[in-house]
Amino acid sequence: MSVEQLRPFPSHFHLKDLTSVTAPVFEFKLNPHQEEAALATNAWFDRRNVYHGLKKKKFLSHRFDSYAGMSFPDADVAHLKTCIAFFLWAFSFDDLSDEGALQSKPDAVQIGVDISMEVLRNPDAPAPNFPYAAMLHDIWRQFRSTASPGACNRFFRAVESWMNSQVEQARNRATDEIPSVEDFIILRRRTIGGPIVEAMVEYSLDLQIPEYVWDHPILQEMSKAVIDIMTWPNDLCSFNKEQADGDFQNLVFCIMIERDCNLQTAVDVLTEMLAQRVADYARFKSQLPSFGPEVDAELARYNKAIEQYTQGTVVWYYYSPRYFRGQDVSNKPEIVVPVYERTVPAEESTAPPTPAKMRSIVPSQLSNLKNFAEARFKLPQLSVRYHARISLLLVSSVACLLYVSYMSFPALPPLSSRTAFSH
């Protein structure tokens, strides 16, 4: 399916209060330590130099600290700091490929992924200069300090899967390819970072749950359902912002194309799908078997925590200015949202840096992959003239050396009898 199959967008659309859809099953609670944890974590984020000036101010205005306070309500201060840091890292890296200089550039995204994965594979190595990987380095160190070995393994695998999904989604953007609804739901569970979230919830309370429990079919189905429930409201709240940024990797657009329907119908269909998924989760939870008193007690804490995370996530979608551009959307059974106009980035008409050029950058010298890409977009002509001059200088130097060699060693055999170099 292709973006070209989308029907024209209307001037506005109606969106039901999604928090009311999830609230009957998912509890909402606030963490009392949010402000204390946010002060320390924001200072850490400043030191990592990811954003500067107005861009940093805009990014932090999305209140990821509040998101963590809504999503990890029972975490202590130390664990909540790591949870806030996790959000700052995840959203900044996600924005780098979703709307930043690396949008629709899978090869460039892959480089950032490779650098970041080295952090997980070699946790005792110094933090890299690439700021997104440096943030992950710090988070991984804190995570490993208290989490169980099983939680650490799940976090590693989940981050690897999420990173790979970022590359896959960037490849879809580059080709304007829209997956089927079924395929996108599976991919979306990875791109939303659902398994990472589950590991973070486990870490936030230092839960001790045996490995075999996670493999039970009912828990597997509960996991899929809860990830869909935290993901589909994101697609409903974010697709307007994303289409304005030129990003159509969203379940709303998959439904529009697959069902050949208009925007409002797709929004209503996905809202109904969400309500059904909430019912699915409640049904699966009622079928959960007993694993013994101690394990049941830990699992009950986990289920409560993942439910609180999910409801906190859905509430934050409305609370944050990230998706509705300052529109008052609180405490309303339904909102009318204007469809945003497309904003074309300046880089869109300029060729991206080649993969070979990107890979020539040594990771230790890569202070910011995004800034590098932006600089390459802004100065293409200067770069060409510079390389032309260097090439002319090298050709002249070689000619001089050949002449000197010829004059100094007149007895050299003919060129045809020498061994040529091969590159």
Burial of 274 (0-12, 13-18, 19+ CB in 10 A): buried
Q: Which residues contact 50 (CB under 8 A, 6 or more apart)?
A: 56, 88, 92, 131, 132, 135, 368
Q: How far is C-alpha 280 from the geometric centre of its chain's CA atoms?
A: 27
Half-sphere exposure of 226 (CA within 13 A, CB side): 30
Q: How far apart are CA 206 and CA 195, in angstroms?
A: 16
For residue 97, what pLDDT is reported? 61
Burial of 263 (0-12, 13-18, 19+ CB in 10 A): buried
**Nearest Cα to Cα of residue 213 among 151, 152, 143:** 151
Burial 7-17 (b: 16+ CB within 10 A, else e): eebeeebebbb
Residue 96 has what pLDDT? 76
Q: Which of 238, 97, 229, 76 is nearest to 168 (CA)?
A: 97
**Whose CA is closest to 303, among 201, 165, 191, 418?**
201
pLDDT at residue 422, as a whole number: 34
pLDDT for 366: 34
Tens of each residue's pLDDT in the chain, 423 residues: 767 678 889 999 999 999 999 999 999 999 999 999 999 999 999 999 999 999 999 999 999 999 999 999 999 999 999 999 999 999 998 887 655 555 557 788 888 889 999 999 999 999 999 899 999 999 999 999 999 999 999 999 999 988 888 787 777 777 777 889 999 999 899 888 899 999 999 999 999 999 999 999 999 999 999 999 999 999 999 999 988 888 888 999 999 999 999 999 999 999 999 999 999 999 999 999 999 999 999 999 999 999 999 999 999 999 888 899 889 898 899 999 999 998 755 443 333 334 343 333 333 333 343 343 333 233 333 343 434 444 444 444 444 444 434 444 344 333 333 323 233
Please state which CATH class domain 3-339 belongs to: mainly alpha
**Which amino acid makes up residue 198?**
E
- Structure tokens, 253: 């657009």
* DSSP H helical ranges for 245-337: 251-259, 263-286, 293-319, 321-324
Residue in 331, 332, 334 with CA at minimum distance from that of residue 271: 334
Residue recorded with tokens 């992950």: 136
Pick from 366, 363, 371, 368: which is nearest to 125 by CA?
Answer: 363
Cα separation, 129 vs 265, in Å, equals 47
Q: What residues does 13 pair with on adjacent strands?
A: 337
Q: What is the pTM of this model?
A: 0.78
Structural tokens at position 218: 């009912």
Q: Read off the tokens for 81.
A: 């700091």
Residue 68 structure tokens: 């963590």
The CA–CA distances, whole Å, from 232 to 90, 170, 186 equal 18, 20, 12
What the block records as the tokens of 137 is 């380095």
CA torsion, ordered 99, 100, 103, 106, to nearest 10 deg: -140
- pLDDT (0 to 100) of residue 295: 97
The pLDDT, as a whole number, for residue 103 is 52
15, β-bridge pairs: 335
Of the candidates 53, 3, 5, 16, the residue with the CA atom closest to the CA atom of residue 260: 5
- Dist. CA 281–CA 287, nearest whole Å: 10
Among candidate residues 215, 284, 383, the one with its CA nearest the CA of residue 25: 284
